[in-house]
Structure 1
Amino acid sequence: MDEKVEETMTLDLDKKLNSVFAGRVVRKDLTKLIKEGANVPVYVLEYLLGMYCATDDEQSILEGVERVKKILSDNFVRPDEAEKIKSRIRELGQYSIIDKVTVALNPKIDTYEAEFSNLGLKGVPVPASYVKEFDKLLVGGIWCMIKLDYFYDEEVRNMSPFTVNNLKPIQMPNMDINEVFEGRRQFTKEEWIDVLIRSIGMEPTQLEERVKWHLLLRLVALVENNYNMCELGPRGTGKSHVYKEVSPNSILVSGGQSTVANLFYNMSTRKVGLVGLWDCVAFDEVAGIRFKDKDGIQIMKDYMASGSFARGKEEKAASASMVFVGNINQSVDTLIKTSHLFAPFPPEMANDTAFFDRMHYYLPGWEIPKMRPEYFTDKYGFIVDYIAEFFREMRKRSFADAIDRFFKLGNNLNQRDTVAVRKTVSGLVKLIYPNGEYTREDIEEILQYALEGRRRVKEQLKKIGGMEFYDVMFSYLDKETMAEEYVTVPEQGGGKLIPEGLGRPGHVYVVGHGNSGMIGVYKLENQVVSGTGKFDKSGVGSHREAKESLDTAFRFFTANSKSISNTISTKTKDYLMHISDLQGIGLTDELGVAELIGLCSGALEKPVQESLVVLGSMTVGGTISKVEEFANMLQVCVDAGAKRVLIPAISIVDLQTVPSDLLVKVQPIFYSDPIDAVYKALGVS
């Protein structure tokens, strides 16, 4: 797009925003300007800027900024200056401050009492009229401009000498949601998305369309009750910014130990934890999540599934969404080939399919660019506190049935998948079409995006849990035409562990059970050099069973080489073998048949068939064992890129356990004994 045209469109959007939402918007570069010098939440800052700088007149803006700076320097309480401010209130008798105020009723003296976050004061009497007018004071507290009086009465020793004379919230105490509904009609879909993205401080004209959707998805946890999502990606992409700065209704729990009492319910004080106090609880640095309580993860799973948890004799319900953000330290390609995309989670969670199955969306953080100055906006957006109240109000509504007017979900989606997709659709509709005015095309666009994020979760579950999560072919049907559309995940394409084309002689791929219990892919590389009949192994480490399996193959090879081919020499050659654990899950002992094939392939200088994987193990006498977890093994072969799979004939009976759409992806080749396996692997009839 032409830069001048883009600039004109931006100016038009600024003008439109200022006229439709007068006094509700602020120029975002002003926030950045003052934020760098004042450690005060963005939503407090923008409320003040909205009061004094909600205009597009440059001179008025400059005067407003100076006024806001003065208010902050004179009245904002810094924790390290608390004693100085208390002294000033005492000496002057009355003084105005900016602080976060929480109010609780003291029933012993029938008085509301305030606690000041930065000033460190407790038990300060508050007139009941303020509590009735601003009920958020009672639930979590709000930032306010407070005029405090000081009067010390020797007669009344139990009362605080400080009293609240005047209290004015500098957060939105309430809002009219219809104002948003009416205002939304003045904007196109594209304009409204740009407004939302500018409201969180980003510049949409610098971002790709797909990145804009990812930024919107970060906000779904703020508008949707009990929404579970995770975002893993590189450092510096702003993963935690939304939850820390943009909303006064969300809390960011930095990595480290947490307790059930802090998060859910404290049995001794009988108070609900963070999930009952906040709309969204975000965990930063997932790799560091630890629970002191043994049942912590179990309670978290229970809560993520049902929105309730049992503590003591009763069950408690809460509506907080759960967000997990963390860093991926390897490239995504490497992670997909060697492990799964949930690998950065701590060990007690990393292989827990039940925990990850409760995730409604996996946001691909690697698709969001690292933050640079040009990605931050200097245009107009909603005052953060206004948008936070809009988000909170939308939590009372639901658009989970928006899909049903036009579409039907495919049969690969189970109940949890369906709930996940509906929640994502509902959340995005609340953000983009809050007044419920949308078309078939609008819902289809959101539905495709919702299905992709849940399928990303399911693809990883399939890697961790095998056949239990086989149904990943997500689709939706158009109710009018009954045409079925399938939704794919971008990172699943290409990059297979087993490359196409012929490999080198002596190279063989094998799939087996690693010592971790998971099924893995291994590569055996055999080389034949002049020597005296030695067999050297590398890559085996101290894995005794793997060594024995390889030695079994070599003993069978030396005893039966002439039955395979007269040209094989076992006395004048040395055989060198290296094994690679391609997925890092620990070695397997199911290597006998594959290594025999590798030795023969190297000795005959004939490569095995293209994209072939070997299954099965053998004894030194040549007895072939049945393949355990046959369907799961075949699934791993397909995921790794195999086109042909060499299978013991004894496992034919297990073919019925394999879904038909998995069977059509590979060519099964059955062998009856080790020598038959060699012939078939090398394509010799």
Structure 2
Amino acid sequence: MAELNVIDEVESANVIINKKLRQYFDGKIVRKDLTKAIKEGANVPVYVLEFLLGQYCSSDDPEIIEDGVRTVKKILSENFVRPDEAQKVLSVLREQGSYTVIDRITARLNIREDRYEAEFSNLGVREILLEPGHVSKYDRLLCGGIWCIVQLEYEFLEEERRSMPIRVRKLTPIQMPHIELDEIKEARKEFTKAEWMTILLRSTGMESDKFTEREKWLLLARMIPLVENNFNLCELGPRSTGKSHIYKEISPNSILVSGGQTTVANLFYNMASRSVGLVGMWDCVAFDEVAGITFKDKDGIQIMKDYMASGSFARGKEEKAASASMVFVGNINQSVDVLLKTSHLFEPFPDAMAYDTAFFDRMHCYVPGWEIPKYQPDFFTNEYGFITDYLA
């Protein structure tokens, strides 16, 4: 009987949370089981997929949800541009005169020509004329780009041979073009602290009811670098605890550097092209498998330490500042007790870092990954959570 009462309490709490979410965040939430179902067969970023699901499946009616899922699948299959099919899409565009694509669009101002130009990530075309109205309406186009559904036109004019024959007829973002923080703050007042924690965890795909209070806080701690500037976090623990997932899938403003090897030019500043590296372009730079971190440059670790301490670094004659947080995740292959007896908790780092106390002094947070249970299928939620892009 006691177990039944607990189940009833959980279900009633879920009903209350879902009702509040639909009331205050309608169109910005999605059922996470739908994301799982479609993600398995669609190679699109989670935040793009969830935005579409939020638009077409924001209902409790099974029929509406089913129709919405079909619509989303149809949109993705017909319009999503895979990089290896770019030339085929361009050919269809040329033959038909118009075509609708889903792609990541980045805008820039061409000062010489006094016009805005768009670059299509997967389609591989650039210098496409963009109306100023699009840029002023969706300012994130200028800040790293956003995913959009774009209606393109193709018209080749003999007298304008030098100009690009492709034009943008209509542009609709499928990410949040901008977010009103005041709106979120007002709606937040309607939720308790426990409810808000549940929503945040469900928004990352996890079912909060499956974790202890301590585990919930540890999972939330992983998200600190995504909201704080220049926050340095380290998480070492067993495999299959989702250490790197959150930095790869949950935010379009975070990048996961896999493989370990990198260069100062790539990470900080390229003196040849005079361009800032990853720390200037992303909110969070996460290193997967810390054991493999190596710099081709001898001064790489020193520059990293300087950046982690002050949020700035010197290259050549200039000092550059950036706000990206640094995250280091890796595996501990033995029990913590054994590790503490034979070595220390930073042992998985490469030798150049593992015994450098100055490097570890710059860490703001160490998440004990061994306290987070290995993920099981029932840890993933089927309830409502924020669209990933809205959360990010």
The answer to whether the superposition gives a TM-score over 0.5 is yes
**Residues 423-464 of structure 1: CA distance to partner in whole angstroms, max 9, x if unpaired?**
xxxxxxxxxxxxxxxxxxxxxxxxxxxxxxxxxxxxxxxxxx
Provide the secondary structure at the position in 2 that maps to 1:61.
Answer: helix
Q: Which residue of 2 aligns with 1:115?
A: 119
Residues 90 and 150 in structure 1, CA contact (< 8 A), matched pair in contact too? yes
Q: Return the alpha-carbon distance in structure 2 between the equivalents of residues 124 and 215 of structure 1.
A: 42
Equivalent position of 1:349 in the other structure: 353
Q: Distance in 2 between matches of 1:127 and 1:188?
A: 44
**Residue 234 (structure 1) aligns with:** 238
TM-score by length of 1: 0.56
Query: Would you say 1:96 and 2:100 are equivalent positions?
Result: yes
State the number of aligned residues.
Answer: 388
- Aligned partner of residue 345 in structure 1, secondary structure: coil
Determine if the alignment matches structure 1 residue 245 to structure 2 residue 249: yes
Shift of 1:20: 2.1
Which of 247, 269, 272 is the aligned partner of 2:273?
269
Give secondary structure in 2 for the equivalent of 1:102.
Answer: strand
Contact 2:140–2:178 (Cα < 8 Å) also in 1: no
After superposition, where does 1:448-597 map in structure 2 within 5 Å?
none
SS in 2 for 1:236: coil
Once the two structures are TM-superposed, the CA of residue 50 in structure 1 deviates from its matched residue by 0.9
Aligned partners of 2:260 and 2:287 also within 8 Å = no
Q: Structure 1 residue 178 and structure 2 residue 182: aligned?
A: yes
* AA of the residue aligned to 2:386: F
Counterpart pick for 2:310 among 306, 309, 330 = 306
CA distance in 1 between counterparts of 2:140 and 2:11 reads 40
Q: Distance in 1 between matches of 2:46 and 2:80?
A: 14
Mapped contact 1:281–1:321 kept (Cα < 8 A): yes
Aligned twin of 1:67: 71
Check if 1:365 corresponds to 2:369.
Answer: yes
Letter in 1 for 2:124: G
Q: Specify the code of the residue in structure 2 equivalent to 1:249.
A: N
2:175 is the alignment partner of 1:190 = no
* CA radius of gyration, larger in: 1
| SS class of match (2:59) | coil
Cα displacement string for residues 111-134 of structure 1 (whole angstroms, at most 9, x for unaligned residues)? 222211111112222112212222
In structure 1, what is the Cα distance between the partners aligned to 2:35 and 2:310? 39
Structure 2 residue 25 is matched with structure 1 residue 21 = yes
Aligned to 1:676: none
Measured against aligned partners, the alpha-carbon deviations of 1:503-537 in whole angstroms (never above 9, x if no partner) come to xxxxxxxxxxxxxxxxxxxxxxxxxxxxxxxxxxx
What is the aligned partner in structure 2 of residue 336 from structure 1?
A: 340
TM-score by length of 2: 0.97
* Whole-angstrom CA distance in 2 between matches of 1:297 and 1:124: 40
How many angstroms apart in 2 are the aligned matches of 1:327 and 1:336? 15
Q: Matched residue of 2:223: which SS?
A: helix
- Alignment-derived partner of residue 293 in structure 2: 289
Tell me, yes or no, if the aligned pair for 1:326 and 1:344 is still in contact at 8 Å.
yes
Aligned-partner residue type, residue 369 of structure 1: P
Q: 1:439-490: CA deviations, max 9, x gaps?
A: xxxxxxxxxxxxxxxxxxxxxxxxxxxxxxxxxxxxxxxxxxxxxxxxxxxx
Q: Using CA pairs under 8 Å that are at least 6 residues apart, name the structure with larger relative contact order, 1 or 2.
A: 2
What secondary structure is seen at the aligned counterpart in 2 of 1:88?
Answer: helix
- The match for 1:138 among 133, 138, 142 is 142
Alignment partner of 1:86 is 2:90:
yes
Unaligned runs of 5+ in 2: none
Q: For residues 194-205 of structure 1, what are the structure 2 equivalents within 5 Å?
A: 194-205=198-209
* 1:166 alignment counterpart: 170
CA shift, 1:256, in A, is 2.5
* One-letter amino acid matched to 1:6: V
The CA distance in 1 between the partners of 2:390 and 2:276, in whole Å, is: 27
* Secondary structure in 2 matching 1:282: strand
Shift of 1:109: 2.4
Offset at 1:92?
Answer: 1.1
Contact 1:255 1:287 in 2 (8 A): no
Structure 1 runs (4+) deviating above 3 angstroms are none
Contact 2:290/2:349 (<8 A) preserved: yes
Q: What residue identity is the alignment partner of 1:196?
A: L
Q: Which runs of 5+ in 1 are unaligned?
A: 389-685
Distance 1:356 1:51 in 2: 45
Match of 1:324 in 2: 328
Deviations for 1:275-294, whole angstroms, at most 9, x for unmatched residues?
Answer: 11111111111111111111
Contact 1:255 1:286 in 2 (8 A): no
- Identity percentage of aligned residues: 65
Q: Secondary structure at the match of 1:155?
A: helix
